[in-house]
C-alpha cells in the first residue's frame, strides 16, 4: 500500500491502474534474493541482461495505454518476467505478449500459469514484427527502447489506438503514438531509461 501511495504522490491518477498495481504481488516476479526490494521504485535485474521496470514506469505506461478508455486487445513487446503482462491482463480483455529470449519466456510462462492468469497469449518471436495474424490492437506497449516504431507495428494499431514506448539513444523519452483516420500523431513525454530493443530470437 505504501507503493500505491507513492505512485499516487508521483502523479499516477488512474485509480483503476493503481488498484491493479495493488493487487499484483510484484515480489513474485523477481529473484528471491531481491524480494526485499520488490516494492521500491527501482528497476531490478531479472537475468539474461533484462530488468523489471520500476513500479512508476509500469503504472505510467499502463495509464497512458488506457487513456482513451477500456482496452480490448493489447500487444506487449518484451514479456520479460511477466509483471507488466500480469498488470495488462487485468486492464484488457486479451493480452498478446512477445518475448525474444526463449529461456526467459519459459520461466515466465510457468510463473503466469501458477498465478492462473487466463487471458494472456505468450509467443517466442521477434517482437518488432508484431502479430499481424491477430491484429489490429487497440493498445501496443513496448518494454525496451527503440529509435523508431517499424511500419509493420504501426499497421497493426487500430484506429483510435495507442502505442506507448521508450524512444531514443543516449537520451530516452517515453512516447505515445496515436492513430486516427488521418494518420499517426506522436507525443514525447518524460525522460526514462530502458534496456535496448533487439531483433531476432534467442532459443537457448
**What does the pLDDT look like over 22-68, one tens digit per residue?**
999 999 998 888 888 888 888 888 878 788 899 999 999 999 999 87
First to last CA, the chain: 38
Task: Supply the pLDDT for residue 67.
Answer: 86
Buried b (16+ CB within 10 A) or exposed e, 5-23: ebbeeeebebeebbebbee
Q: Is 53 a catalytic residue?
A: yes
Lookup: cell for 36:
526485499
Is residue 56 within 8 A of residue 7, CB to CB? The reply is yes
In degrees and rounded to multiples of 5, residue 65 shows phi and psi of: -65, -40
Handedness of CA 79, 167, 65, 1 (dihedral sign): positive
What homologous superfamily does CATH list for 2-192?
Vaccinia Virus protein VP39 (3.40.50.150)
pLDDT of residue 204: 60
pLDDT tens by residue, 94-151: 999 999 999 999 999 999 999 999 999 999 999 889 999 999 999 999 988 899 999 9
Q: Write the pLDDT tens digit of every residue in 174-199.
A: 999 999 999 999 999 999 988 777 77
What does the domain layout of the chain look like in residue ranges? 2-192
User: Among 53, 62, 97, 135, which one carries the catalytic annotation?
Assistant: 53
C-alpha gyration radius of the chain: 16
Cell of 18: 493503481
Q: What is the pTM of this model?
A: 0.93
Amino acid at each position: 500500500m505504501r507503493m500505491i501511495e507513492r505512485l499516487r504522490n508521483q502523479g499516477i491518477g488512474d485509480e483503476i491502474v493503481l488498484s491493479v498495481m495493488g493487487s499484483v504481488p510484484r515480489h513474485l516476479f523477481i529473484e528471491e534474493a531481491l524480494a526485499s526490494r520488490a516494492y521500491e521504485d527501482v528497476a531490478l535485474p531479472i537475468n539474461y541482461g533484462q530488468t523489471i521496470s520500476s513500479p512508476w514506469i509500469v503504472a505510467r505506461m499502463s495509464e497512458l495505454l488506457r487513456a482513451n478508455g477500456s482496452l480490448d486487445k493489447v500487444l506487449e513487446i518484451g514479456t520479460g518476467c511477466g509483471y507488466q503482462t500480469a498488470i495488462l491482463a487485468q486492464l484488457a480483455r486479451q493480452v498478446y505478449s512477445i518475448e525474444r529470449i526463449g529461456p526467459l519466456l519459459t520461466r515466465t510462462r510457468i510463473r503466469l500459469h501458477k498465478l492462473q492468469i487466463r487471458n494472456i497469449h505468450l509467443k517466442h518471436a521477434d517482437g518488432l514484427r508484431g502479430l499481424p495474424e491477430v491484429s489490429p490492437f487497440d493498445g501496443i506497449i513496448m518494454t525496451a527502447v527503440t529509435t523508431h516504431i517499424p511500419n509493420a507495428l504501426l499497421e497493426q494499431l487500430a484506429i483510435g489506438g495507442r502505442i506507448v514506448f521508450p524512444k531514443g539513444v543516449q537520451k530516452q523519452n517515453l512516447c505515445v503514438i496515436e492513430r486516427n483516420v488521418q494518420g499517426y500523431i506522436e507525443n514525447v513525454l518524460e525522460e526514462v531509461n530502458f534496456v535496448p530493443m533487439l531483433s531476432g530470437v534467442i532459443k537457448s
